[in-house]
Amino acid sequence: MSVRKMTLLAMMMALAVALGYAESFIPSFWVPGTKPGLANMVILLCLVEFGFFEALLVNLGRVLLVGALTGTVFQMGFYMSAAGALLSLIIMWIGLRYLKKLTLYGVSLLGALAHDGGQLLVGWAFLGNPGVFYYFPFMALISLATGFFVAFVVTRIVKTGILKRILSEEKQNPKAVKP
């Protein structure tokens, strides 16, 4: 991995952590624990521009660091967050790779729904009661809005081609970035 790519990924992780931490101060509306999923913008952007493993790296780092900052590491909420993030990433990756008829909007919606599903699955495992899925329809409706917003922002960023441009500059002038 080149220094430039590593720096970009570190910046992405920092941005995801900042957004995730800022979200922890936003009060939930309507359903307990629901958040706008702003950090998912960074993850989807990484997935589109870099690939699965880079997005996985940023995602895991984000979950761990936000958990450490909010003091919830290895508690139920942390595992819910981690499961939601992982399942969302896997579903978005499948969407991008195999469901070619979906645009980023559809992929983002699937990711948001998978995030909800992952969280509730862990809730079920910890609480031993599938009744937690009562919240799923509420969360799914909120996911429509948050998924659309995330896809809208990511589509705009991808269209500018800024990340591809930064990475291609390195290929054109490798000496400029190598230590």
3-state SS, residue 134: helix
Asked if residues 32 and 134 have their Cβ atoms less than 8 Å apart, the reply is: no
Residue 45 Cβ, how far from another protein at the closest point, in Å?
18
Selected from 47, 110, 150, 163, the binder of another protein by CB under 8 A is 110
Selected from 1, 53, 98, 101, the binder of another protein by CB under 8 A is 101
Return the number of the residue (9 or 87) whose C-beta is nearest another protein: 87
Return the number of the residue (15 or 93) whose C-beta is nearest another protein: 93
Q: 27's torsion region: left (phi>0), alpha (psi -120 to 50) or beta?
A: beta
Selected from 1, 32, 156, 179, the binder of another protein by CB under 8 A is 32
A 10 A CB-CB count for 151 gives: 22
DSSP H or E stretch at residue 116: helix 104-127
- Asked whether position 141 contacts another protein by CB under 8 A, the answer is yes
- Asked whether position 143 contacts another protein by CB under 8 A, the answer is yes
Residue 64 Cβ, how far from another protein at the closest point, in Å?
18
- Asked whether position 28 contacts another protein by CB under 8 A, the answer is yes
Enumerate residues 35-64 that contact another protein by CB under 8 A: none
Asked if residues 78 and 105 have their Cβ atoms less than 8 Å apart, the reply is: no
Asked if residues 62 and 85 have their Cβ atoms less than 8 Å apart, the reply is: yes
Q: How far is 105 from 154, CA to CA, in rounded Å?
A: 9
- Asked whether position 7 contacts another protein by CB under 8 A, the answer is no
- Asked whether position 82 contacts another protein by CB under 8 A, the answer is no
Per the structure block, which two tokens stand in for 31?
A: 């359903």
Selected from 20, 37, 111, 123, the binder of another protein by CB under 8 A is 123
C-alpha distances (whole Å) from 111 to each of 52, 72, 95, 176 are 14, 23, 9, 37
Alpha helices in 36-75 (DSSP H): 39-49, 52-70
Name the site residues for another protein (rule: CB under 8 A): 28, 32-33, 70-71, 75-77, 80, 99, 101-103, 105-106, 109-110, 113, 123, 126-129, 131-132, 134, 136-138, 140-141, 143-144
